[in-house]
């Protein structure tokens, strides 16, 4: 048996949703807990598969992992006994690459499986991570079976590292490796995403000495050890943005609680151009859409630009806007695989490399579609909610990797959406 998400579309969304902790911060902060001598208490943990896999990985390495309540977990890595994390779990998760930086920092050696994770159709290299580790004194080798081994026999020594491409993962991984290194590491052309700042804040709260996170130059002054403490993970920018795009597509009015307004500016700017109203308080945002949607253009860029992880979701209101809207993907080589599924629902889209033109249509129609990756899956849900009739989404496991109870949260604001168990049909993957 497998699961599908069934949606009866065409209903506006109205009400309130609480936003969970940020996936891309949590999946970096959990391995960062490996650097800590003592107990880290992490609050605002999202209940998503990627986070549970990451917790299972550190548990498999011997860390104590204990939930105090559904959103608070304690990790005690004081006595972790191995530098080899469980390979099969690592292969499931792209963010398992953060184990490399963390283990290198603590043990001066890491041997990990080549990371798996979201496949949205393009190449996802880790050369910049390796370049950073090597600059700090590590030697890298690729071993049989797809393992990467990084080792710094004489320890890591701080250096200045210029990233050729702005990379979230490389910035975080080098930050992890440099935290317990000797001397000062400077990352130039660093990524500035909210989860970079969150990782630095977590490490500093545990005794690290990192400054500049959130700018393009980050300085990490190595310290001897980190101590335990309590830290609350930031709200998920992309989860909030996903519900903002959903209400833009369906019409209605949604209030999202537990958000950081600054993180959502790039998204609300586009929604306002499309005709939605957006109102903030200190930690809530209300998005209302009653009038017809206007076309707009979007180009994804590293933060504070428009996030690539919101690109597929924002495509749905653009499918229904007046005229032709252009989306240019500026981060990944290819992230338009979901467009084929949208065409089944009546969307009029032309893709040429990194550019997609969405010619607005009056309505989308429900159809059987596949969630090819996490954000594509979220886009399929939004399309189903906005479409006339029934949409059945298969391969929902991708969605569960990154959205905390998306079906329950949408039901609570008036969506007709549910999971159904279906007999395996074969042929899908």
Task: Please classify residue 409 by burial: count the beta carbons closer than 10 Å to its beta carbon, then call 0-12 exposed, 13-18 middle and 19+ buried.
Answer: buried
> Which is closer to ligand EPZ, CB of 287 or CB of 399?
399
Residue of 132, 107, 106 lying closest to 186 (CA atoms): 132
In contact, 248 and 264? CB cutoff 8 Å: no
Residue of 355, 350, 358 lying closest to 299 (CA atoms): 355
Which of 309-320 are b and which e, b meaning 16 or more Cβ less than 10 Å from the residue's Cβ?
bbbbbbbbbbbb
Task: Please classify residue 182 by burial: count the beta carbons closer than 10 Å to its beta carbon, then call 0-12 exposed, 13-18 middle and 19+ buried.
Answer: middle
In contact, 249 and 36? CB cutoff 8 Å: no
Q: What is the DSSP letter of 337?
A: T
Rounded-to-integer distance, Cα 212 and Cα 382, Å: 37
> Which is closer to ligand EPZ, CB of 97 or CB of 358?
97
In contact, 137 and 175? CB cutoff 8 Å: no
Rounded-to-integer distance, Cα 24 and Cα 379, Å: 19
Instruction: Give me the least distance between CB of 95 and ligand EPZ, in Å please.
Output: 4
Instruction: Give me the least distance between CB of 23 and ligand EPZ, in Å please.
Output: 6
> Which is closer to ligand EPZ, CB of 127 or CB of 188?
127
Residue of 406, 385, 196, 220 lying closest to 303 (CA atoms): 196
Instruction: Give me the least distance between CB of 97 and ligand EPZ, in Å please.
Output: 8
Q: What is the dihedral of CA 33, 39, 41, 46, to 10 degrees?
A: 40
Coil, helix or strand at residue 320: coil
> Which is closer to ligand EPZ, CB of 347 or CB of 378?
378
Q: Break the chain down into helix, strand, coil percent, rounded to 5.
A: 35, 30, 35
Rounded-to-integer distance, Cα 381 and Cα 342, Å: 11
State both tokens at 385. 């909610």
Placement of tokens 């109102």 in the chain: 279
Instruction: Give me the least distance between CB of 237 and ligand EPZ, in Å please.
Output: 10
Q: Which residues lie near ligand EPZ (CB under 6 A)?
A: 24, 27, 94-95, 118, 124-129, 165, 167-170, 191, 308-309, 331-332, 374-375, 402
- Catalytic position from the list 118, 211, 266, 319: 118
To the query of whether residue 266 is one of the catalytic residues in this protein, the response is: no
Placement of tokens 């009015």 in the chain: 253
In contact, 221 and 253? CB cutoff 8 Å: no
Active-site residues, by number, are 118
């Amino acid at each position: 048996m497998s699961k599908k998400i069934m949606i009866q579309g065409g209903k506006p969304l109205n009400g309130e949703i609480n936003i969970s902790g940020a996936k891309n911060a949590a999946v970096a902060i959990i391995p960062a807990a490996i650097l800590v001598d003592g107990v880290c208490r992490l609050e605002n943990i999202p209940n998503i598969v990627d986070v549970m896999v990451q917790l299972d990985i550190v548990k498999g390495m011997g860390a104590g992992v204990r939930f105090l309540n559904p959103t608070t977990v304690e990790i005690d890595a004081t006595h972790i006994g191995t530098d080899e994390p469980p390979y099969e779990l690592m292969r499931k998760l792209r963010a398992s690459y953060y184990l490399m930086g963390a283990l290198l920092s603590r043990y001066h050696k890491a041997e990990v499986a080549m990371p798996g994770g979201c496949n949205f159709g393009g190449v996802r290299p880790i050369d910049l991570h390796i370049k950073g580790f090597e600059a700090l004194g590590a030697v890298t080798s690729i071993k049989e079976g797809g393992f990467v081994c990084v080792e710094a026999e004489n320890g890591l020594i701080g250096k200045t590292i210029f990233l050729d491409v702005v990379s979230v993962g490389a910035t975080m991984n080098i930050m992890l490796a440099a935290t317990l290194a000797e001397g000062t590491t400077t990352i130039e052309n660093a990524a500035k995403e909210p989860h970079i700042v969150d990782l630095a804040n977590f490490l500093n709260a545990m005794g690290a000495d990192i400054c500049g996170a959130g700018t393009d130059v980050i300085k990490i002054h190595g310290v001897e050890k980190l101590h335990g403490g309590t830290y609350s993970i930031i709200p998920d920018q992309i989860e909030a943005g996903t519900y903002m795009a959903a209400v833009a597509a369906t019409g209605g009015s949604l209030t999202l609680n537990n958000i950081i307004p600054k993180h959502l500016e790039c998204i609300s700017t586009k929604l306002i151009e499309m005709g939605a109203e957006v109102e903030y308080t200190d930690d809530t945002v209300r998005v209302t859409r009653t009038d017809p949607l206007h076309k707009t253009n979007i180009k994804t860029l590293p933060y504070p630009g428009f996030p690539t992880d919101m690109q597929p979701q924002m495509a749905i209101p653009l499918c229904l806007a007046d005229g032709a809207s252009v989306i240019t993907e500026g981060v990944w080589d290819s992230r338009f695989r979901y467009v084929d599924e949208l065409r089944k629902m009546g969307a009029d889209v032309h893709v040429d490399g990194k550019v997609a033109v969405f010619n607005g249509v009056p309505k989308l129609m429900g159809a059987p579609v596949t969630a090819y990756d996490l954000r594509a899956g979220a886009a399929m849900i939004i399309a189903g909610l906005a479409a006339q009739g029934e949409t059945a989404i298969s391969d929902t496991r991708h969605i569960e990797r990154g959205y905390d109870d998306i079906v329950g949260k949408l039901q609570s604001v008036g969506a007709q959406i549910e999971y159904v168990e279906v007999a395996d049909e074969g042929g899908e993957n």
